[in-house]
């Protein structure tokens, strides 16, 4: 556990962008207005799968107020080429046809044309006058159906890559992954107890409140300026440049304030379209998705089918694991099956395990990351089976987890050996918690627990700190701030320099001014961009030592920098501000800089406790009490760490109990609105208690681990375990919505 | 009435009398954002599901995407831009900042306006009342915990200042 006392780290200053955000002054993309700006509207496919026979745009073009109409024919040909987007990679030809369909539409909502007009209503009316002739094709939206030999094919040229071996016949399965350690078959033979179940989860959406939006201004000189809602301005720049086949250096991406992302605002959807409309019309163009577009045409996260098996010895040691996982990729290859495979047994030290995973294309929008992408599904399966083992062995569900929890030196099925990690510490905090030690009583009530894991990544981050004449600092960094990261980064710089958080003015730069920085994702910003800010501060201190040596007539090596950021030599001690002011006055204008690319995962573990009451008449689940525990390594700003824990948990509760894409007979979505998709409201959840565990990450100067993603992983499993303890009914399908739970309870009663 | 023929409307927004021209099909939200530059009210769904565009209309919180611009003739409207008193933040704004009750901030204006409308009526609103009254406002980042606490704290502060 970390015990170091810090001045700024661990305190709770008001965030730097706070006043702007409570007064309505903060500028989000849809708030951006340029002179002469037009409004864009995207025409989308009403069919789940169809060949585009012809498109006639003439009536739309003739409408007064319309300045440009584009279709797939306006997009350049993009070759098959895989581009690294920071967190995940993408085939650019797929990316391009996902932005605008070429010969085929692969899901309802797939873009087929776009209009720019003086007003969004005119653009919409014009778009509706575009005549698209479709040849409707057979479609498929269930993952196991899409894997069948006679399934309708989405891509004629797609063959399965099975750990490097290519299949001969095309299919909807681009990738088969296989991991194993030890000898799982033999271990199952020797197990005293085996549990095995099949699980299904529905497609769900990140549900950010801000719809995707972009403003593009294509200049006569070939420069393209983009203001957009993105989790990564640099990856947005790269994708846009590649799809449009223009030089990367011609594109400037300015990240506006962003209204939520959770992994769903990394891929470009609108940027190339807006750019082409701007190029054609000679005017800036703004496009914003409607809420229905967001559901139908952005990137939800995979639905799945999973068969998972665990074997244990009678003392509770889990000795064998087997998983067969099939995840939706959506319309194009590249879903979340990789992390699914790596996370299925990531919390338990299982000596023998085998995992097979399949990425499956089907007629749904191309899936995207969603907070610990791929991990929540497998936790729903594994964490229930662990409970079932405990129950059959007569063990406590906490005891079996403590007995089998991964720790330093445990090897995951996909290879990596864990450095020091904090799962046991989280389970211990759970055991000590008031929640766990307060008995739950009453009919139809139950308590469940579950553990969760997410890797957390490093990637690349840059920071620059400029010293002002009064000794305060302007911090320039490139991480889009979705939840207060400006402040958590600035606090680390303040700590190293011996300043207050308020002495730092953090700013998120655009792609022309900030150093290269990967996406805000992978729970990496406070970890990696914070590390860059720390290193930039160190760089500044080095420069100041050298300059102070001249002033003080000594060698730089004679000057030491204290924990409080002060500079000392020969019995003389000067604080950072004092020296900075003196150097500025002497004509030294200082900029500290750093670029970091930590390769290590930050390994975030957590555990959660859920108390529920189930209405036996309706199957409705009420969450009575909830506690989320997580190893943050070191919490820089505890309030915002708690906020991540609470927010992720409530998203997980929505995923568990209610959210799903309902598909109709024609494979189109029936509930593409907030009202019908029905994310949790304030009235649906209780207070979310949090316990922050701080084990310290040896790979970060202040011990930070990422915290953003892990909290969404345990809720469906913890709630399923609680529901089981309340009703004796084991739920193997998400969401555990009233009709599904009621049916399962009825079936359970009949079978008894 | 033709869809594009503009109508003249006089209304009061944040205590200031304002005239604007709008088409009959334009919502109050569009008027606020596009005609008047008051972009603090946000569009999350445009069909009254999310509450990000909440304004106070004649004393009642409403989704401004569900009100037509032509309907506000002679009305009194308060938006997020008008909550603060000159340079001093309203207690609900202060408590959101102090309590870290916002993350991405897109739902925040709607919550602040809806919370102010509730606290103006009942600064002692219970947790249950707050959760019921603000359940038309969706937040996807924060899990609501800190928002409820911030509204409670703001009520206490308003009582203390009264």
pLDDT tens digit sequence for A668-688? 999 999 999 999 999 999 999
pLDDT at A487 over 60: yes
* Chain A residue closest in CA terms to B128: A683
Residue A4: pLDDT band with limits 50, 70, 90: confident
Minimum distance, in Å, between the CA of residue A194 and any CA atom of chain B: 37
A260 touches chain B (CB under 8 A): yes
B126 touches chain A (CB under 8 A): no
CB A449 within 8 A of CB A607: yes
* Chain A residue closest in CA terms to B93: A22
Distance of alpha carbon A288 from alpha carbon A270, whole angstroms: 8
Give me the residue from A18, A262, A682 closest to B97, CB to CB. Answer: A18
Q: How far is CA A419 from CA A401, A403, A410, B106, B148, in A?
A: 19, 19, 8, 38, 39
pLDDT tens digit sequence for A612-671? 999 999 999 999 999 999 999 999 999 999 999 999 999 999 999 999 999 999 999 999
Q: Which residues contact A165 (CB under 8 A, 6 or more apart)?
A: none
Every domain of chain B and the residues it spans: 7-82, 91-161
Decide if B39 and A31 are in contact by the 8 Å CB cutoff.
yes
**A545: containing domain:** 18-25+458-596
Whole-number pLDDT of residue A33: 96
CB A206 within 8 A of CB A262: yes
Residue A87: pLDDT band with limits 50, 70, 90: low
Give me the residue from B39, B134, B140 closest to A682, CB to CB. Answer: B134
B103 touches chain A (CB under 8 A): yes
Share of chain A above pLDDT 90, in %: 96
Decide if A260 and B147 are in contact by the 8 Å CB cutoff.
no
Give me the residue from B96, B130, B138 closest to A209, CB to CB. Answer: B138
Position A385 in a domain: no
pLDDT tens digit sequence for A601-615? 999 999 999 999 999
A290 touches chain B (CB under 8 A): yes
DSSP string, A170-205: E-S--EEEEEEES-HHHHHHH-SEEEEEEEEE--B-
Whole-number pLDDT of residue A745: 97
Decide if B81 and A19 are in contact by the 8 Å CB cutoff.
no
Whole-number pLDDT of residue A107: 98
Tell whether the torsion through CA atoms of B63, B69, B70 and B73 is positive or negative: positive
CB A117 within 8 A of CB A109: no
Decide if A12 and B100 are in contact by the 8 Å CB cutoff.
yes
Position A556 in a domain: yes
Give me the residue from B38, B83, B143 closest to A650, CB to CB. Answer: B143
Q: In what helix (H) or strand (E) does residue B35 lie, and over which residues does it extend?
A: none
Between positions 661 and 680 of A, the ones with CB within 8 A of B are: 673-675, 679-680
Tell me the CB-side half-sphere exposure of residue A453, using CA atoms within 13 A: 27
Q: How far is CA B25 from CA A120, A411, A477, B63, in A?
A: 12, 62, 43, 16
Minimum distance, in Å, between the CA of residue B93 and any CA atom of chain A: 6
Question: Coil, helix or strand for B83?
Answer: coil
Minimum distance, in Å, between the CA of residue A30 and any CA atom of chain B: 9
Residue A86: pLDDT band with limits 50, 70, 90: low
Count of domains for chain A: 1
pLDDT tens digit sequence for A553-595? 999 999 999 999 999 999 999 999 999 999 999 999 999 999 9
Across the A:B interface, residue pairs with CB atoms under 8 Å apart total: 174
Average pLDDT for A61-71 = 98
Position A570 in a domain: yes
Question: Which of A479, A567, A453, A455 lies closest to A531, judged by CA?
Answer: A479
Whole-number pLDDT of residue A1: 57
CB B23 within 8 A of CB B7: yes
A482 touches chain B (CB under 8 A): yes
pLDDT tens digit sequence for A269-319? 999 999 999 999 999 999 999 999 999 999 999 999 999 999 999 999 999
Tell me the CB-side half-sphere exposure of residue A24, using CA atoms within 13 A: 25
- Residue A163 tokens read as 């750990």
* Chain A residue closest in CA terms to B83: A23
pLDDT at A41 over 90: yes
End-to-end CA distance of chain A: 49
Distance of alpha carbon A6 from alpha carbon A327, whole angstroms: 44
CA diameter of chain B: 53
- Residue A195 tokens read as 């549990």
Residue A29: pLDDT band with limits 50, 70, 90: very high
CATH architecture of B91-161: Orthogonal Bundle (1.10)
Position A330 in a domain: no
Phi, psi of A9 (to 5 degrees): -65, 130
pLDDT tens digit sequence for A138-163? 999 999 999 999 999 999 999 999 99
More confident residue, A2 or A55: A55
CA diameter of chain A: 90
Decide if B42 and A682 are in contact by the 8 Å CB cutoff.
no
Q: Which of A23, A287, A485 to substitute to test the interface with B, most B CBs within 10 Å?
A: A23
Give me the residue from B38, B108, B136 closest to A22, CB to CB. Answer: B108
CATH number, span B7-82: 3.10.20.30
Minimum distance, in Å, between the CA of residue B162 and any CA atom of chain A: 22
Residue A83: pLDDT band with limits 50, 70, 90: confident
Position A524 in a domain: yes
Decide if A22 and B96 are in contact by the 8 Å CB cutoff.
yes
Position A511 in a domain: yes
Query: Across the beta sheet with A567-569, what order do the strands follow?
Result: A560-561, A567-569, A572-574
Per-residue pLDDT tens digits of chain B, which is 162 residues long: 455 689 999 999 999 999 999 999 999 999 999 999 999 999 999 999 999 999 999 999 999 999 999 999 999 999 999 999 878 999 999 999 999 999 999 999 999 999 999 999 999 999 999 999 999 999 999 999 999 999 999 999 999 988
B40 touches chain A (CB under 8 A): yes
Between positions 201 and 230 of A, the ones with CB within 8 A of B are: 206-211
pLDDT tens digit sequence for A89-112? 788 999 999 999 999 999 999 999
CATH code for the domain of A540: 3.30.365.10
Minimum distance, in Å, between the CA of residue A491 and any CA atom of chain B: 15
Q: In what helix (H) or strand (E) does residue A607 lie, and over which residues does it extend?
A: strand A604-614
Position A476 in a domain: yes
Distance of alpha carbon A642 from alpha carbon A342, whole angstroms: 27
* Chain A residue closest in CA terms to B102: A483
In a 10 Å sphere around its CB, with 0-12 CB exposed, 13-18 middle and 19+ buried, how is residue A154 labelled? buried
Residues in chain A with CB shorter than 8 Å from the CB of B78 are none
């Amino acid at each position: 556990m970390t015990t170091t006392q810090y001045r700024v780290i661990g305190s709770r200053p008001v965030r730097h962008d706070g006043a702007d955000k409570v007064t309505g002054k903060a500028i989000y993309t849809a708030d951006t207005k340029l002179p002469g700006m037009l409004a864009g509207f995207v025409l989308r496919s009403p069919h789940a799968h169809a060949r585009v026979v012809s498109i006639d745009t003439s009536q739309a073009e003739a409408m007064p107020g319309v300045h440009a109409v584009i279709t797939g024919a306006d997009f350049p040909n993009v070759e098959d080429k895989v581009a690294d987007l920071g967190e995940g990679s993408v085939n650019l030809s797929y990316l391009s046809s996902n932005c605008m369909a070429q010969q085929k539409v692969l899901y309802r909502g797939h873009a087929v044309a776009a209009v720019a007009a003086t007003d969004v209503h005119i653009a919409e009316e014009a778009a509706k006058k575009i005549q698209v002739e479709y040849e409707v094709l057979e479609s498929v939206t269930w993952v196991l159906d899409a894997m069948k030999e006679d399934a309708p094919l989405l891509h004629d040229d797609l063959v399965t890559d099975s750990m490097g071996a290519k299949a001969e016949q095309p299919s909807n399965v681009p990738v088969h992954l296989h991991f194993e350690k030890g000898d799982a078959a033999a271990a199952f033979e020797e197990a005293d107890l085996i549990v095995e179940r099949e699980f299904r989860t529905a497609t769900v959406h990140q549900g950010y409140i801000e719809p995707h939006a972009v403003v593009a201004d294509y200049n006569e000189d070939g420069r393209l300026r983009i203001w957009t809602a993105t989790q990564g301005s640099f990856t947005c720049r790269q994708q846009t440049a590649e799809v449009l086949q223009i030089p990367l250096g011609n594109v400037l991406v300015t990240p506006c304030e962003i209204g939520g992302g959770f992994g769903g605002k990394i891929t470009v959807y609108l940027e190339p379209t807006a750019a082409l409309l701007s190029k054609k019309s000679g005017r800036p163009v703004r496009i914003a998705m409607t809420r229905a577009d967001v559901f139908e045409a952005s990137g939800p996260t995979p639905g799945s089918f999973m068969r998972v098996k665990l074997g244990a010895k009678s003392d509770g040691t889990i000795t064998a694991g087997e998983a067969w996982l099939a995840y939706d990729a959506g319309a194009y290859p590249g879903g979340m099956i990789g992390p699914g495979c790596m996370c299925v047994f990531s919390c338990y030290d299982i000596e023998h395990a085998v995992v097979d995973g399949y990425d499956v294309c089907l007629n749904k929008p191309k899936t995207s990351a969603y907070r610990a992408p791929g991990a929540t599904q497998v936790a729903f399966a594994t964490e229930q089976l662990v409970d079932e083992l405990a129950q059959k062995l007569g063990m406590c569900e906490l005891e079996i987890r403590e007995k089998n929890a991964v720790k330093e030196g445990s090897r995951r099925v996909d290879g990596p050996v864990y450095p020091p990690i904090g799962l046991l510490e989280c389970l211990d905090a759970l055991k000590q918690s008031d929640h766990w030690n307060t008995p739950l009583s009453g009919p139809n009530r139950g308590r469940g627990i579950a553990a969760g894991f997410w890797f957390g990544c490093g990637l690349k981050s840059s920071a620059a700190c400029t010293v002002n004449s009064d000794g305060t600092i302007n911090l320039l960094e490139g991480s889009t701030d979705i939840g207060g990261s400006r402040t958590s980064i600035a606090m680390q710089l303040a700590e190293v320099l011996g300043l207050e958080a308020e002495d730092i003015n953090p700013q998120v730069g655009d792609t022309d001014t900030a150093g290269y920085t990967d996406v805000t994702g992978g729970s990496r910003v406070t970890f990696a961009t914070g590390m860059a800010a720390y290193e930039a501060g160190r760089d500044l201190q080095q420069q100041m030592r050298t300059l102070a040596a001249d002033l003080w007539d000594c060698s730089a090596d004679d000057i030491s920098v204290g924990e409080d950021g002060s500079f000392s030599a020969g019995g003389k001690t000067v604080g950072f501000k004092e020296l900075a002011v003196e150097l500025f006055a002497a004509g030294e204008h200082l900029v500290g800089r750093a670029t970091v690319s930590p390769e290590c995962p930050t390994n975030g573990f957590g555990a959660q406790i859920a108390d529920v009451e189930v209405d036996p008449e309706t199957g409705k689940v009420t969450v009575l009490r909830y506690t989320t525990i997580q190893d943050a390594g070191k919490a820089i700003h505890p309030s915002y760490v708690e906020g991540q824990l609470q927010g992720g948990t409530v998203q997980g509760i929505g995923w568990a109990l209610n959210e799903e894409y309902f598909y109709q007979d024609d494979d189109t979505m029936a509930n593409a609105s907030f009202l019908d998709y029905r994310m949790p409201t304030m009235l649906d959840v209780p207070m979310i208690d949090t316990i922050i565990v701080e084990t310290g990450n040896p790979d970060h100067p202040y011990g930070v681990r990422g915290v953003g993603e892990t909290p969404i992983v345990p809720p469906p499993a913890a709630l399923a375990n609680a529901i089981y303890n309340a009703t004796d009914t084991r739920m193997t399908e998400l969401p555990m919505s009233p009709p599904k739970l009621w049916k399962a309870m009825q079936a359970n009663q009949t079978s008894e | 009435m033709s869809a594009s023929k503009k109508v003249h409307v006089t209304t009061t927004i944040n205590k200031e009398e304002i005239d604007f021209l709008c088409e009959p099909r334009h919502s109050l939200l569009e008027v606020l954002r596009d005609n008047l530059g008051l972009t603090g009210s946000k569009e999350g769904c445009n069909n009254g599901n999310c509450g990000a565009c909440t304004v106070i209309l004649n004393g009642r919180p409403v989704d401004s995407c569900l009100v037509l611009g032509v309907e506000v003739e002679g009305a009194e409207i308060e938006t997020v831009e008008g909550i603060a008193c000159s340079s001093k933040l309203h207690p609900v704004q202060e408590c959101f900042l102090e309590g870290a009750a916002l993350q991405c901030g897109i739902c925040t204006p709607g919550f602040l306006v809806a919370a102010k409308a509730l606290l103006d009526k009942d600064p002692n609103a219970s947790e249950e009342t707050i959760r019921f009254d603000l359940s038309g406002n969706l937040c996807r980042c924060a899990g609501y915990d800190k928002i409820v606490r911030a509204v409670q704290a703001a009520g206490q502060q308003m009582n203390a200042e009264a």
